[in-house]
Structure 1
Amino acid sequence: MTSLTVRMGRAAAAPDPAVDLTGGWAPQTWLGAPAPGGLALPSATPTRAWMYSPRGVYFDDRYLVVADSGNHRVLAWHGLPDRDSQPADVVLGQPDDTTEGRAAGGRGPENGMNLPTGVLVHDGRLIVADAWHHRILVWHTVPETDWCPPDLVLGQPDFGAVEPNAGTECSAATFYWPFGVAIIGSVFWVADTGNRRVLGWRGGLPEPGRPADIVLGQPDSASREENRGESVGPASFRWPHAITGHEGLLLVADAGDHRVLGWTPPPDGDRPADRLLGQPDFHTAGEWPYGPQRGDRFRFPYAASMDAAGDSTRLAVADTANNRVLVWDGDIWTGDDAWDGRAADHVLAQPGFADNGENRWSAVTPDSLCWPYGIWLHGDRLAVADSGNNRVMIWRRT
């Protein structure tokens, strides 16, 4: 690996040591190549321990799964890694742990991937959004060996087909850049980013070829314009990218409109959102790229993750272009206006809510971020796919 300091600029203002803005969150485990003193560059030859622009992460008590997007593969650990740079146990999408390139280095899409992003394990099944192959791949069990082929493909007629919208017109059974997946209650949701919509299937994972029961964000299943071809509003998306929530709430990270939209309860058809974070109202899509940032604004929020346990609820949002993660604590998701517009309680990877520099305009450190694309909350741990630093960081709340 080559370490190179590529950015030196103005130093971020030193935080007040008397104010803890992290809420007790601190990095615990570093997965990927270390980069003391500079930017973490990807290895010329992949290994089980190094990554290139990871964009999705999932973990629970049994597995950690990473979409190693730039290497066009998925890495899986059986058990949560407990040491820095721990190699993955399983490599999927490539024939071995040193091959890279789209479609298994040119071997074909049947067992290869093209920029995988969203990853999820649900009821023992592994689900992968193979975004640039415009499909969802499903393994009935989390593989224990490398190069294990998927069992199901959604959005394409077979494992060899990779055209946008299955080479046909947009429909309720096709995808164009599906980036995010989630199962909330009994509904399987897909952020169909290139079609600027979210699709939902009642009853969980559907059989291949079954059209979605819910098309959210477009007037019908054949439409795919940004923001429904109109000005931004409460029933439209620009780049829906990640989905989270619980049985009473659906949240969608609409990265292109710099906001998170919410529905209470989750919709059973196309209808306007009734919850909003990141913008002053449903008809604003400002980026605010210059000047001090705030705890109630986003710049390209590509990921969101909610963890609800008992009476407590926590939400984390990857505020990607601001190089930080924002965290909201508490059961703030009920009531008519309990959380709309509320600033985050905590900020990770920046000294304060006003700051937004890549790696704080300095060198890579365990608690800095550069374009975090994916996050996952589970109890008092948070995994961050730190894409620009080619690593995954596992944080813990102490």
Structure 2
Amino acid sequence: MGTVKLTAHPERWLGGPAPGGLVLPSARPDRIHLYAPRGVYVDDDVVVVADSGNHRVLIWYGWPENDHAPADVVLGQADFEAEGPKLFHLPTGVAVIEGRLFVADAWHHRILIWEALPKKNNQPPDHVLGQSDLESTAPNRNGEVSPTGFYWPYGFAYVNGWFYVADTGNRRVLGWKGIPEDGRVPDLILGQPHGYINGENRGKGVGMDTFRWPHALAGDGRTLYVADAGNHRVLGYTPPPDVDRPADLVLGQKDFTKSFELPHVPQGPRRFRFPYGIALCGDLLAVADTANSRILLYTELPRKGAYHPASYVIGQTDFDGSGENRWEAVAWDTLCWPYGIWCHKDRLAIADSGNNRVIVWHLGLEKVSN
């Protein structure tokens, strides 16, 4: 038997510097500054950031060699200085899946797909999910809720051959075997009895099979994790569901019927306030506990049961802290409303939205014999 020891330190800062302890967006967008980023993706070859407040996606090719490095490509705007909703209206989740770039264009109620990583500014997408064409942007395909429409799709994930969408405004998770083409009916509707209803918590109250704001997803072949931000919890399904069913795991609440939130008091290692992001780092689960301005890390993957404690915290000095930037100045290791997170090998990338930056942490995991 043994335990896992974690070491963690910030490695790279993308976005504007913080003179005087403030990280402010520039008056006009540029290649360096970010404005309330809500999504990030990193691998060996590329860094992709949903620069949500500027309604654009930025791409860095290769690992940025220094802090505040300028981006190489901008999507959604004609150039790095343009601003305002155009192609995107509040982009959130971003990821590269099998060589294709996916972007959750949340307030246009769709997911956009590029067949290859774009190399040119403002390169248009090749495909769209959730709308009949690239000109359509209304919720639920400009109609009532249906199995193939979206309402604020903030997050998505590709897990063990399944493509999942957190259809937040419809309070459900949709799942397809493989990458779907637009209009294909999902193989799974999780959190609602059928595809033509979208009641909060199924219209019956918080339970094992309900969502308020499902916002992000992660998983492996054994468990699907759903960050149910509006209920201040994470639900887990072991094994991953292929039909609508109750969850097997709840984190952040004492049981499956609670949605307790109490701000500005010591939170401890078991509670969340609006967990908007989630990621798997090998055998480590990371949860963006957004309103507590921290990341909670579980060194043993929880799969069933309730109210498991986290093992480590990033962004606060201990589990009792919950202040934005620890109620002090912006520092390398502080956070202010972290949203999207992404793990790749020993790197944890955090969209530190309230600080208008992305911080990439290096994680070191070591098994220690008891």
Relative to the length of structure 2, the TM-score reads 0.95
Query: Which residue of 1 is the match for residue 318 of structure 2?
Result: 352
Amino acid at match of 2:342: W
Q: Residues 103-158 of structure 1, C-alpha deviation per residue, up to 9 Å, x if partnerless?
A: 1xxxxxxxx10000011101100000000000000001111111100000010010
Which secondary structure state, in structure 1, belongs to the residue aligned with residue 59 of structure 2? strand
Partner of residue 79, structure 1: 62
Q: Which residue of 1 aligns with 2:88?
A: 113
**Cα distance per residue 1:139-185 (max 9 Å; x no partner):** 01111111100000010010000000010111110000000010001
Unaligned runs of 5+ in 2: 365-370
Q: How does 1:286-305 map to 2 (within 5 A)?
A: 286-305=260-279
Tell me the residue number matched to 1:370. 336
Partner of 2:318, secondary structure, is coil
Alignment match, 2:248: 274
Question: What SS is found at the alignment partner of 1:137?
Answer: strand
**Residue identity opposite 1:362 in structure 2:** E
Letter of the 2:51 counterpart: D
Matched, 1:186 2:161: yes
Q: Look up the SS of the partner of 2:207 in the other structure.
A: coil
Q: 1:247, CA displacement in angstroms?
A: 1.2
Q: Given that residues 249 and 264 in structure 1 are in contact (C-alpha distance below 8 angstroms), is that contact kept between their aligned partners in structure 2?
A: yes
Alpha-carbon separation, structure 2, partners of 1:333 and 1:59: 25
Distance 1:31 1:73 in 2: 15
Q: Give the partner amino acid of 1:231.
A: G
Return the alpha-carbon distance in structure 1 between the equivalents of residues 71 and 147 of structure 2: 36
Superposed CA offset, 1:42-90 (max 9, x none) = 1111111110000001111111111000000011111222310011111
Give ranges in structure 1 of 5+ residues lacking alignment.
Answer: 1-21, 104-111
Which one of 32, 39, 49 corresponds to residue 49 of structure 1? Answer: 32
User: Which residue of structure 2 aligns with residue 37 of structure 1?
Assistant: 20
Distance in 2 (alpha carbons) for counterparts of 1:127 and 1:33:
25
Provide the C-alpha distance between the structure 1 equivalents of 2:344 and 2:269, rounded to a whole number of angstroms: 22
- Work out whether residues 206 and 258 of structure 2, in 8 Å CA contact, stay in contact via their aligned partners in 1: yes
Secondary structure of 2:6's match? coil
Once residues 41 and 333 of structure 1 are traced to their aligned partners in structure 2, the CA distance between those partners, rounded to angstroms, is 38
**Structure 1 counterpart SS, 2:271:** coil
**Equivalent residues in 2 for 1:1-398 (5 A)?**
23-103=6-86, 112-202=87-177, 204-308=178-282, 313-330=283-300, 332-333=301-302, 337=305, 340-398=306-364
Verify the 8 A CA contact 1:36 1:364 in the aligned structure 2. no
Q: CA deviation at 1:211?
A: 1.6
- Secondary structure of the corresponding residue to residue 326 of structure 1: strand
For 1:145 and 1:362, the matched residues in 2 are separated by: 40
The residue identity in structure 2 corresponding to 1:385 is A
Deviation at 1:333, TM superposition (A): 4.1
Q: Name the SS of the counterpart of 2:201 in structure 1.
A: helix
Q: Secondary structure at the match of 1:228?
A: helix
Separation of aligned partners in 2, 1:391 and 1:322: 17
Q: What is the rounded CA distance, in whole Å, between the counterparts of 1:217 and 1:61 in structure 2?
A: 35
One-letter amino acid matched to 1:323:
S
Is contact 2:74-2:121 (8 Å) kept? yes
2-structure distance, mates of 1:274, 1:73: 37
Counterpart AA for 2:259? A
Query: What is the rounded CA distance, in whole Å, between the counterparts of 1:24 and 1:289 in structure 2?
Result: 28
Q: Distance in 2 between matches of 1:136 and 1:25?
A: 33
Q: TM-score when scaled to structure 1?
A: 0.89
Q: How much identity, in percent, do the aligned residues show?
A: 57
Give the secondary-structure state (helix, strand or coil) at the position aligned to 1:91.
strand
Residues 350-383 of structure 1: CA deviation (Å, up to 9, x unaligned): 1110011100111111110000011111121110
Q: Is the 8 A contact 1:36 1:365 kept in 2?
A: no
Q: Secondary structure at the match of 1:66?
A: strand
Q: Distance in 2 between matches of 1:82 and 1:372?
A: 23
- Other structure's SS at 1:48 match: coil
Give distance in 1, aligned partners of 2:196 and 2:169: 13
**Which amino acid is 2:321 matched to?**
D
Q: Return the letter of the residue paired with 1:81.
A: P
CA displacement 1:201-249 (0-9 Å, x = unmatched): 11x2111111211110011101111101111001010000000011111
2:74 corresponds to which letter in structure 1? V
